[in-house]
Structure 1
Amino acid sequence: MPDFAAFLTSFAELAKLLTPLVYWGALLVGFYFAGSALHKIVKMGNDGHSGQAPTWGGVAGNLLVTLGTVALSSWVTSLSNNFGGLGSGISSQLAYMRDNSTSSLAPLWTAIYAWLFLLGVCAIFRAFLLFNRAAQGHAQEGDGFWRGFWHILGGAILVNISTH
C-alpha cells in the first residue's frame, strides 16, 4: 500500500524548494527592468528618436517594478511575520486555523499550506509584471493596474492563509 503521508510530505517539500526559485526569477526580472530603465534614459538623451520616444512615466514604472521584484522575498517574509502565525495581537486574530500538527491530516495541511504560499508568491510576482506592462502604455489591452492590485491582494491573502 502506498504511503500517502510520505507523498504529501514530498509534495510539500517540492513547493518549499520552488519558492526560492520564484524569488530568484523575480530578482533577475528586476535587474532586467533596471537595465531597461537605464536604456530608456539613454535613449531619451539621444537627439535622433526612432519610433516612439520613451517617457519618464515608463522609466519610473520600470524603476518601481524593479524595487518590487528585487524586494519580493523580504516583503513576503515581512507579510508572513506581521500578519501570519500564532502569537498575540493581530497575528493571532488573523490566524485562520490553529496548528493541528498532531492530527493524522498534518501532512495534507502541510502540503496545502506550502502550495498556497507558493501560489501567493507567484501572484504577487505576476502583479509586478502587470504593473510594468501597464506603466509602458499597454493599458488598452486591459487595466493592468487593477489586475495587478487584485493579484497583490489575492497573493497576500494566500500567503496569510498559508502561514496560519
Structure 2
Amino acid sequence: MDLTTIVTQLGATIVEFQSLAAAAAYGVGLWYIAKAVNRGIKASSQPGGAETSGAAIFTTLLIGAVLLNLTNTMGDLWETMTGERGAGFGMVSYSGASAAGVFAPAINAIFTIVSTFGWWYGFKGLTMFKKASEGHGSGGYEDYAWKGFIHAIGGAAMVNIGSTVDAFKETVGLTF
C-alpha cells in the first residue's frame, strides 16, 4: 500500500468528522443557551444574590445560537471575506488537482482532511468567544477574543480550502 492510497482512504474516512463537528457544535450551542436561560432565571428569582449582568446572559445566548448554526456560520464568514458562498460537507473536489495527474485523488483527499480540521477550528474559535465574553484572558498571550477570531476566520478558510488555494495562487501569480 503506497502513501497515495493511504491518504486517499484517510480522506474518504475523515469526512464523517465534518458532520461530527457540526453535531458537537449543536450540542454545545444548546448547552450554552440552556445555561444562559438558567442564569437568567436564577438572577430574577433570587434578588440580592450573585450579580449576573444581562450582557453576560445575552452574549452566552448569542454564541449558543451561532454554534447551533455552525454550518451557515462558516459559510457566512467565508462569504463576508470573499463575497462567494462556500462551506459544504463531503469530499473536496479541487479543480486544480487535475494538473497533478495520478496524484489528483491524493490532493483532493489532503484538501478534505484540511477542510475537516477547518470545521473543528471554527468550532473551537466560537467557543473561545464564550471564554472571552466571561472575561478570561483579557490581553496578553491568552487573549481569547483574538484567538477565537483567528480560529474562526482560519477555520472558514480551511473549510473552503479550494477557494483559499485559488486566491493564494492569484495573489502570488502561480500557475499550476
- TM-score category of the 2 structures, normalised to the smaller one: 0.7 to 0.9
2:146 maps to amino acid: W
CA shift in 2, pair 1:55/1:131, >3 Å: same
1:82 is the counterpart of 2:84 = yes
Q: Does 1:38 align with 2:37?
A: yes
The 8 Å contact of residues 120 and 156 in structure 1, kept in 2 or not, is answered as: yes
Unaligned runs of 5+ in 2: 88-93, 167-176
Unaligned runs of 5+ in 1: 86-95
4+ residue runs over 4 A deviation: none
Match of 1:104 among 97, 102, 105: 102
Whether the aligned pair in 1 keeps the contact of 2:8 and 2:105 (CA below 8 Å) is: yes
Greater mean deviation of Cα atoms: 34-43 or 102-111: 102-111
Q: CA distance change for structure 1 residues 148 and 102 in 2, over 3 Å: closer, same or farther?
A: closer
Judge conservation of contact 2:63–2:126 (CA < 8 Å) in 1: yes
Larger displacement relative to structure 2 (23-32 or 70-79) = 70-79
Q: Which residue of 1 aligns with 2:68?
A: 70
Distance 1:161 1:32 in 2: 30
Q: Secondary structure of the residue that 1:98 maps to in structure 2?
A: helix
Count of residues in Structure 1 that have an aligned counterpart in Structure 2: 152
2-side partners of 1:134 and 1:108: how far apart? 39
Secondary structure in 1 matching 2:26: helix
1:22 CA drift (Å): 0.7
Give the TM-score taking structure 1 as reference length.
0.79
Structure 1 residue 74: Cα displacement: 2.4
| Native 8 Å contact 2:75 2:86 kept in 1 | no
Structure with greater contact order relative to length (CA < 8 Å, sep ≥ 6): 1
**Alignment-derived partner of residue 89 in structure 1:** none
Percent of counterpart pairs with the same letter?
22
- Quote how far apart the aligned CAs of 1:117 are: 0.5
